Structure 1
Amino acid sequence: MGSEIEKTFKFVIVGGGIAGVTCVEQLSSKFPSEDVALITAGPHIKAVTNYKQVSRTLEEFDVEEKPFSVLQEKFPNLTVIHSAVKSLDTRSHCLETADGRVFGYKKLCICSGARPKLLTQENPYVLGIRDTDSAQEFQKQLSKAKRIVVIGNGGIALELVYEVRGCEVIWAVKDKAIGNTFFDAGAAQFLIPSLEADKAEVAAPCKRQRYTTEKPNPNAAHTFTADEYSRGQKPGGVQPGSALGPDWHRGMELKGAEQVSRRVSVEYQCEVEQILTSEEFLVSSKQTLKPDTGSWPVYVQLTNGKTLGCDFVVSATGVVPNTEPFLHGNNFSLADECGLQVNDHLMTSEPDVYAAGDVCTACWEHSPLWQQMRLWTQARQMGWYAGRCMAADVLSEPIELDFCFELFSHVTKFFNYKVVLLGKFNAQGLGSDHELLVRCTKGQEYIKVVLSRGRMVGAVLIGETDLEETFENLILNQMDLTAYGEELLNPNIDIEDYFD
């Protein structure tokens, strides 16, 4: 770094997403007389609003985009530097920004998030959805579209296929069931009818009234090859969350050019073999496979042998940690998926450098009930905890690993149903050493409990079940539930009375 250091800050945080902003708030309020800097490339920051602690580990909040001046007004000791980071020199403790300025730091926290894994970088007909700009671009393209192909099976794909109107959606997933990042085939089967119904017909899920052990209809249009409630089901690769708000489509009209309401068809267990322009498609040997009449701007050839024409392709296949500008010339330890490795104080392998949120990989020995998934809740928790760890380090105080890392918990909404995930909700890492209890009331609720050696280790709750606090307690207490057996999910027994 050739230039002189313009200013040295006690704390520098890189990234204006949830993790970075939460970390900034923590440090700026704890050290009101120290200089804190936030370096962010965008003009807006992501702020947590309407925060609610639902239970010991469950939290709900909204994410809002706000101009970064909001933070500066709140914290007089904060400087916001509006630029991308070009390089980092951990030996001399300084960063260079894209506009050529150099800033020093005593402690640095990298919260640069992640970027979408695009199927292809070059093709103008392939859109990745990650931030507000790309969501608006998607909305614009969609308004002229008659058919789109969505590739991916994480949260963003799930929300997208449900929200789009006036356009045929072909959804290609690599798994045997939809949404396997978040739930199993049984839950997917419970949600599938919502995709087929028109929005107006789907009543809001209501409280349970009756008990049924209705298994999904094996003759329904969507059959699952997976044994629905199979024991020992291995979850698929965990895909990171998205950098939009949890309700990013609220207030956006996602409407295509056709007069249909919702038309979604799912292609299971397939991936993209190649993406062809209309010219490439015409000269390709696959021409004999004419997928449909009419010509489309782009064609997607899937590994199941189908070639589908469409107006554009949405790539929603997960994310890659944004570590680029920080690695050159430094010695960061990276995890398998290229995240910065952090220990239980969120410190990287470089001195005085911390990381939080999607850019990092939690490399301490996890609690048996927690796993990292690149989600909103974890970005907020990590940013908050990173701020506390940096503060403790400066003040030479000891700090314990935060309680939020004891139990994985996440509240979200899919297909207009409330979804709560707790612990090893997909039996992650349990092999065959577990059993599942399932209760399903069609159109109302789906409850799955994961038991290991008689103790509850995970749960999926879809609908207004009111069981999240009870189940959270049962998981945290590790009480032996062998005596209750199947009765655990009998709705005529008020389980809350037993365990609260």
Structure 2
Amino acid sequence: KRMAHKVEKTFKFVIVGGGIAGVTCVEQVKIRARTSNPSSFSFVIFEKVSKVLEEFDVEERPSSVLEEKFPNLMVIHSAVKSLHTQSHSVETADGRVFGYEKLCICSGGRPKLLTQENPYVLGIRDTDSAQELQKRLSKAKRIVVVGNGGIALELVYEVEGCEVIWAVKDKAIGNTFFDAGAAQFLIPSLEADKPERAAPCKRPRYTTEEPAAGASQTFTAGLHLGVYLIFSYPAVESAPGSSLGSWPVYIQLTNGKTFGCEFVVSATGVVPNTEPFLHGNNFALADDGGLRVDDHMMTSELDVYAAGDVCTACWEHSPLWQQMRLWTQARQMGWYAGRCMAAHVLSEPIELDFCFELFSHITKFFNYKVVLLGKFNGQGLGPDHELLVRCTKGREYVKVVLSGGRMVGVVLIGETDLEETFENLILNQMDLTPYGEELLNPNIDIEDYFD
């Protein structure tokens, strides 16, 4: 297909997307590729830039921060309209065309929404959608949160002065990250008063208003922060102006109950954001819709790489690693993709990065530090694995997954200080059979033991 306009400029490296994967990719390309012609270094298409800090906090920065850091970087504030892999060029939404030698797609994922059409259904994915949610929350009396991943867990804990109906299709909360035991450990955090914030809360923290009459028996007892947890899922939404009452939107659950609310937050995961790269090209896609990448982050199209939520890791995984669409992995993939692009241009060999040896993720849920390592939920291990669990109510939850006497996964909730020791035990695959349950004996200082 002929390009509408001729190529304005060709760059050695083009990175599409200003999220975590894109920014870390840019940084690595810059560090690794000592190009002789600095003006042809790189260009990035994006509308906003996220900068990743070591503790995995994410902060938005203007693109000028990157441009000052890398003088030979050009930032284009426009979305990509089309990609032409044959001619190695991309066209932006404002009609400009740029050529590339190496391209990396870091366009992330978009929220899986319950329905695309309804203005009362909100997806949360980035700071823009979070700000829109904040604006709507300030006036809301009741919302429904649907989903059981990280965003849902954060939302139900953080929302104040507004009733929250939390619809979860699984048998326990947070099953992306936890088993039922860890979920039970966290539930009391929804019941307890939260630690005081630095700034006083302008709206009342608790609500005494009950949900629709006759429905209260479906709620988990004791969640008096105004979070009502229902193990059910939306079937349909009723139209506004329904005979049920005056709420703007109604949601019907698979348990037969219907609730009215101001709006519904759809926090049910993401879909790889592959539009508009597929049209006219021959990308191999994985079952989950992501761009298939090999162990050098290369797609099936020549000179096109991908990193972060848009791609699916299709090399043979380490037995202790799995892909989950998380910020930590977007950062690792972007970093590694940048290194691969530079290595290929410089004809240098490169091996799969060590970060893909062991799955690791650190986050915070319900104000507890949470560390996940390896096959933390026994993923793909079958029935022959065993679990060791230690739980101190309100303080810590420790779960170790053993397979053939060797540690293969860990869930740590609270300030356990065990992550480094357990990470080493997983990596060195030492036979722990002789230690049995003593591994989690609180009277043994395990860090010194395995030092």
1:152 lines up with 2:154 in the alignment: no
User: Which residue pairs with 1:12 in the alignment?
Assistant: 14
User: Out of 110, 115, 122, which is 2:110 matched to?
Assistant: 115
Partner of residue 189, structure 1: 184
Distance of 1:108 and 1:468 partners within structure 2:
37
1:420 to 364, 371, 378: 371
Shift in CA distance, 173/129, structure 1 to aligned 2, threshold 3 Å: same
Match of residue 123, structure 2, among 123, 128, 151: 128
> How far, CA to CA, are the matches of 2:227 and 2:360 in structure 1?
30
C-alpha distance 201-390 of structure 1, shift in aligned 2 (>3 A): closer
- C-alpha spacing 1:253/1:272, structure 2 compared with 1 (3 Å): farther
Count matched residues. Answer: 431
Partner of 1:267: 230
Q: How does 1:51-90 map to 2 (within 5 A)?
A: 51=54, 60-90=55-85
Provide the rounded CA distance (Å) in 2 between the counterparts of 1:48 and 1:252: 29
Note if 1:277 corresponds to 2:282: no
1:406 maps to which residue? 357
In structure 2, the residue matched to 1:22 is: 24
| C-alpha spacing 1:87/1:252, structure 2 compared with 1 (3 Å) | farther
For 2:286, give the aligned amino acid. Answer: A
Determine the C-alpha separation between the residues in 1 that align with 2:46 and 2:334: 18
Amino acid at match of 1:271: Y
Write out per-residue CA displacement over residues 285-316 of structure 1, whole angstroms, 9 at most, x where no aligned residue: xxxxx6xxx53111100111111111111110
Contact 2:205 2:225 in 1 (8 A): no
What is the SS of the residue equivalent to 1:456?
A: strand
CA-CA distance at 1:122 after TM superposition: 1.4
Separation in 1 of the partners of 2:100 and 2:389? 52
The residue type equivalent to 1:77 in the other structure is: N
Query: Unaligned 5+ residue runs, structure 2?
Result: 209-223
Question: Which of 409, 421, 430 is the equivalent residue of 2:381?
Answer: 430
Cα offset, 1:259, TM superposition? 5.2
Unaligned segments of structure 1, at least 5 residues: 52-59, 203-249, 283-289
Instruction: Tell me: CA distance 1:253–1:121, structure 2 relative to 1, closer, same or farther (3 Å).
Output: farther
Instruction: Give yes or no for contact 1:150–1:313 (8 Å, CA) kept in 2.
Output: yes
Q: CA–CA distance in 2 between the matches of 1:465 and 1:146? A: 38
CA contact (8 A) 2:361 2:372 kept: yes
Shift of 1:256: 7.6
CA pair 6-407 structure 1, distance change in 2 beyond 3 A: same
Are 1:45 and 2:68 counterparts? no
Q: Structure 2 length normalisation: TM-score?
A: 0.92
Counterpart residue type for residue 264 of structure 1: V
Q: Deviations over 1:39-71 (max 9, x none)?
A: 3341x200112x2xxxxxxxx332110000111
> Is the CA contact 1:15–1:38 (under 8 Å) kept in the aligned structure 2?
no
SS of the aligned residue for 2:76 comes to strand
CA deviation after TM superposition for structure 1 residue 462, in Å: 0.2
Give the Cα–Cα distance (whole angstroms) in 2 for the partners of residues 256 and 347 of structure 1: 52
1:328 and 1:485 mapped to 2: Cα distance? Answer: 56
Contact residue 47 and residue 65 of structure 1 kept, 8 A: yes
Structure 1 pair 436–252 and aligned structure 2 pair: CA distance change class (3 A): farther
Matched-pair identity in %: 79
> 1:85–1:97: 8 Å Cα contact kept in structure 2?
yes
How far has the Cα of 1:175 moved from its partner?
A: 0.5
* Corresponding position of 1:287: none
Q: CA RMSD in A?
A: 1.9
Any idea what SS the aligned residue of 1:199 has?
coil
Tell me the alpha carbon deviations over residues 122-165 of structure 1, each in whole angstroms, 9 at most, x when there is no partner: 11111111111111111111111111110000000000000011
Q: 1:394 aligns with which of 329, 345, 353?
A: 345
- The amino acid that maps onto 1:265 is Y
Output the amino acid matched with 2:42: A
1:335–1:251 CA distance, 2 compared to 1 (3 A): farther
Q: Residues 272-421 of structure 1 correspond to what in structure 2 (within 5 A)? A: 272-279=234-241, 281-282=242-243, 295-421=246-372
Counterparts of 1:120 and 1:264, CA distance in 2: 23
Question: CA offsets, 1:379-437, max 9 Å, x none?
Answer: 11111100110111111111110000000001100000000000000000111120101
**Change in CA separation of 1:496 and 1:257 when aligned onto 2, cut-off 3 Å:** closer
Task: Note if contact 2:16-2:46 (Cα within 8 Å) is conserved in structure 1.
Answer: no
User: C-alpha separation between the residues in 1 aligned to 2:143 and 2:268?
Assistant: 15
CA distance in 1, matches of 2:386, 2:202: 40
In the alignment, the residues of structure 2 paired with residue 318 and residue 141 of structure 1 have an alpha-carbon distance, to the nearest angstrom, of 21
For 2:404, the equivalent position in structure 1 comes to 453
Task: Give the structure, 1 or 2, with the largest relative contact order (CA under 8 Å, sep 6 or more).
Answer: 1
Cα 1:494/1:375, change in 2 over 3 Å: same
Report the secondary structure of 1:384's partner residue. helix
Q: 2:425 & 2:138 partners in 1: Cα distance?
A: 48
Deviation at 1:197, TM superposition (A): 1.2
Distance in 1 (alpha carbons) for counterparts of 2:105 and 2:199? 31
Shift of 1:327: 0.4
CA distance in structure 2 between the partners assigned to 1:484 and 1:254 by the alignment: 53
One-letter amino acid of the structure 1 residue matched with residue 227 of structure 2: V
CA distance, structure 2, for counterparts of residue 89 and residue 253 of structure 1:
52
Q: Residue 101 of structure 2 aligns with which residue?
A: 106
* Shift in CA distance, 449/254, structure 1 to aligned 2, threshold 3 Å: farther
> For residues 253 and 428 of structure 2, what CA distance do their matches in structure 1 show?
47
CA distance in 2, matches of 1:185, 1:453: 23
The offset of 1:278, in angstroms, is: 3.2
SS at match of 2:351: coil
Alpha carbons 1:164, 1:255 under 8 Å: kept = no
Superposed CA offset, 1:446-500 (max 9, x none): 0000000100000000000000000001100101111111111001111112212
Tell me by how many angstroms 1:11 deviates.
0.3
After the TM superposition, which of the residue ranges 95-104 and 120-129 deviates more from structure 2? Answer: 120-129
